[in-house]
Chain A
């Protein structure tokens, strides 16, 4: 249904962090909270990518994608052993 949540990886433009945030993770958290009060970050990524992962509805994901500083909101993928 439209309320079903899915995991997304949210890529952030680190250089676009607004003044006033001490740490990027605070900015990530504020961005997430702006579309969902209940959503929690699963991981904060610092080296492999800039961003975080979280469970969101499709609407929340789309809304987040329109926030300033958000580069992409990509659905989680499943990989398998070879």
Chain B
């Protein structure tokens, strides 16, 4: 990526992240669509021998040789037996039965996590700069589990099985499915085994935002990553015949539009199809769009396919408007024809103009790449949101990281749109999703692992979460949610936006081990059989002990009360109170930490005891309790707050999300 290293402060703080042998011994495993090994992002210049801990292989297959691996890309495997058992043999004329990435997604995520430095990177001139992954010195192992027909749990589990055996240190999965119980979810079960071996598992939260309860990969032993924007944009304005201009974004590069206003038409009026406004394939009437700019609306087919349809019908260009689903979030695409994407409000104004003017005209003005965009980051509208639909007492997502308009390495097999009719080939592409934010955190976790080899996955995750920021560093208040234009909350951003430089020295961490998670399963009421399915052991919950999910040593707080209308556990109509227990481990110097509590709603009481914790040596542990008390409130009410411990040098922050259901 060309901008996120500086956006995250990595470029100015290189000295904090040692380039020692320990750092180069960290191995990031990426489960995705494979890898394009010829990408310069996988150049191994300057890297020493493959770490002695590595047990993996570079698997040969169609268009992939063992020699395609090197000291950067140290492993590559593919898993398709489950896929083929269900869907039949892979069509090798369309995709490679090997670790080779014919899609681009896997090359993008792998290079984002741990790609080498590549000077002069850009996409068609956009987002130029020196590209690098987050952990440039870490090694990569790629596990291809996603194919044209999807990613099957049998293959994912097989890949996780091998990755654990291969000795990766971090696993990055930019994929997900529905929300089922942890013991039924292959990613959750595989991640449990990985966690037990000291492997941090980072997963994407999903792109089903801004709907509530839309987060996937909810298990507490997984680091769940939502998406935010960068301070970079690719403006392309729509200029109308009535003199008005509107902002949009585009990555188009090619033959410019004629230097004049063009006829402008609404796709819904240039088609005989019911959904003509969506510019689905074969729905536009060439006679009505030829030589014109066409206004299409988002929905059903891919954004770039709409541009392809306009082009195929003879249109000169496209303006693609969001609907209420996407609001004002602008995602740039490298369309095959001059095109720009605009928000819903702009789209509505454009439609008003189109329906009221007898001779509507427009043009698009492409402005290239702009940086320094404020405010940034903002939470992406598509980023999946809490509460946690399985365990409401565990706040998800955990954190957000850059995931909008991210440039990273790309496959040589398809063009930047991924369309079969796109003949272009690019070394880098710009795409968006929590798929893109997840490998940022995976790479940052690898950096922390290199700096602190003895830290557990929970400690690394804690460091990332408790040092994340929720307010703009330059002032200006709380991070904004682009879906609403208002301040975001912990159900949107979790603990906040990742800040890797602060995460390096968190002061204190909320550590956890396997027993903590087993006790959590007991608190969930799992049967011995369900625990065995998930944790691969006979484990009987001690019947003399009282287990509570509120005792899991999680770095954030989610409190779920029953609403006024009643329901179990909340004491409908009366006040409710619940106690959480946490333990902090000192990973810094000796010091005394004092707590501060911020909750804007005066009817909600948060009592922390004790209010001061003193640590005299490293690895010392101190516990505290938090009692949340509140009157019954209407269903769907949410109250947010924050608990911070500080010794004056470090701030160990935890978000609080209290909800009534």
Could you list which residues of chain A lie within 8 angstroms of chain B, going by C-beta atoms?
7, 9, 11, 13-15, 42-43, 45-50, 53, 55, 71-72, 74, 76-82
B176 cross-chain contacts in A, Cβ below 8 A: 79-80, 82
The answer to whether B85 touches A9 (Cβ under 8 A) is no
The answer to whether A76 touches B151 (Cβ under 8 A) is no
Total chain B interface residues with beta-carbon distance under 8 A: 52
Bound state CA distance, A45 and B154, in angstroms?
10
With A42-B82, A43-B81, A48-B190 in contact, do A81 and B435 touch (Cβ < 8 Å)? yes
The answer to whether A81 touches B146 (Cβ under 8 A) is yes
A14 cross-chain contacts in B, Cβ below 8 A: 536
> What are the 3 tightest A-B residue pairs by CB atom distance, in nearest-first order?
A82-B204, A48-B190, A48-B161
A45 cross-chain contacts in B, Cβ below 8 A: 157-158, 161
Residue B556 at the A interface, CB < 8 A?
A: no
Give the shortest distance, in Å, between B231 (CB) and chain A (any CB). 23
- Can you list 19 A-B pairs, Cβ within 8 angstroms, ordered by A? A7-B86, A14-B536, A42-B154, A43-B154, A47-B165, A48-B161, A48-B190, A53-B82, A53-B154, A71-B529, A72-B184, A72-B530, A72-B533, A76-B152, A77-B177, A79-B150, A80-B151, A80-B176, A81-B105
B152 cross-chain contacts in A, Cβ below 8 A: 7, 76-79
The answer to whether B154 touches A79 (Cβ under 8 A) is no
Q: Which residue of B lies closest to A77 (CB)?
A: B153
With A47-B164, A48-B157 in contact, do A78 and B193 touch (Cβ < 8 Å)? no
B162 cross-chain contacts in A, Cβ below 8 A: 47
Bound state CA distance, A55 and B530, in angstroms?
22
CB neighbors of A among B153-196 (8 A): 153-154, 156-158, 160-162, 164-165, 174-178, 180, 183-187, 189-190, 193-194
Bound state CA distance, A50 and B532, in angstroms?
9
With A14-B536, A76-B86, A78-B153 in contact, do A49 and B189 touch (Cβ < 8 Å)? yes
Q: Which residue of A lies closest to B174 (CB)?
A: A82
The answer to whether A13 touches B532 (Cβ under 8 A) is yes
Residue B438 at the A interface, CB < 8 A?
A: yes
Q: Which residue of B lies closest to A8 (CB)?
A: B154
Q: Given B82, B194, B435, B537, which contacts A82 in the complex, CB threshold below 8 Å?
A: B435
Q: Which residue of B lies closest to A74 (CB)?
A: B184
B536 cross-chain contacts in A, Cβ below 8 A: 14, 49-50
Residue B327 at the A interface, CB < 8 A?
A: no
Q: Which residue of B lies closest to A55 (CB)?
A: B85
The answer to whether B164 touches A48 (Cβ under 8 A) is yes
Residue B206 at the A interface, CB < 8 A?
A: yes
The answer to whether A53 touches B184 (Cβ under 8 A) is no
Q: Given A7, A49, A71, A77, which contacts B193 in the complex, CB threshold below 8 Å?
A: A49
The answer to whether B82 touches A80 (Cβ under 8 A) is no
Q: Which residue of B lies closest to A46 (CB)?
A: B161
B194 cross-chain contacts in A, Cβ below 8 A: 48
The answer to whether A47 touches B161 (Cβ under 8 A) is yes
A9 cross-chain contacts in B, Cβ below 8 A: 153-154, 157, 186
Q: Which residue of A lies closest to B437 (CB)?
A: A82
With A81-B174, A82-B206 in contact, do A49 and B190 touch (Cβ < 8 Å)? yes
Known: A15-B538, A53-B157, A82-B176. 9 other contacts (CB 8 A): A9-B157, A9-B186, A43-B82, A46-B161, A49-B161, A78-B153, A80-B151, A80-B176, A80-B177
Residue B33 at the A interface, CB < 8 A?
A: yes
Q: Given A42, A46, A71, A80, which contacts B81 in the complex, CB threshold below 8 Å?
A: A42
B276 cross-chain contacts in A, Cβ below 8 A: none
Q: Interface code B357-393, partner A: CB below 8 Å = 1, 0 otherwise?
A: 0000000000000000000000000000000000000
B190 cross-chain contacts in A, Cβ below 8 A: 48-49
The answer to whether A72 touches B81 (Cβ under 8 A) is no
Residue B32 at the A interface, CB < 8 A?
A: yes
CB neighbors of A among B20-53 (8 A): 32-33
Residue B415 at the A interface, CB < 8 A?
A: no
A77 cross-chain contacts in B, Cβ below 8 A: 152-153, 177-178, 180, 185-186
Q: Given B33, B189, B205, which contacts A48 in the complex, CB threshold below 8 Å?
A: B189
Q: Interface code B202-235, partner A: CB below 8 Å = 1, 0 otherwise?
A: 0011110000000000000000000000000000
Give the shortest distance, in Å, between A77 (CB) and chain B (any CB). 4
A11 cross-chain contacts in B, Cβ below 8 A: 532-533
Bound state CA distance, A48 and B194, in angstroms?
7
Bound state CA distance, A33 and B85, in angstroms?
18
Residue B434 at the A interface, CB < 8 A?
A: yes
Residue B433 at the A interface, CB < 8 A?
A: yes
Give the shortest distance, in Å, between B184 (CB) and chain A (any CB). 6
The answer to whether B160 touches A48 (Cβ under 8 A) is yes
B154 cross-chain contacts in A, Cβ below 8 A: 7, 9, 42-43, 53, 76
With A7-B86, A47-B164, A78-B150 in contact, do A71 and B532 touch (Cβ < 8 Å)? yes
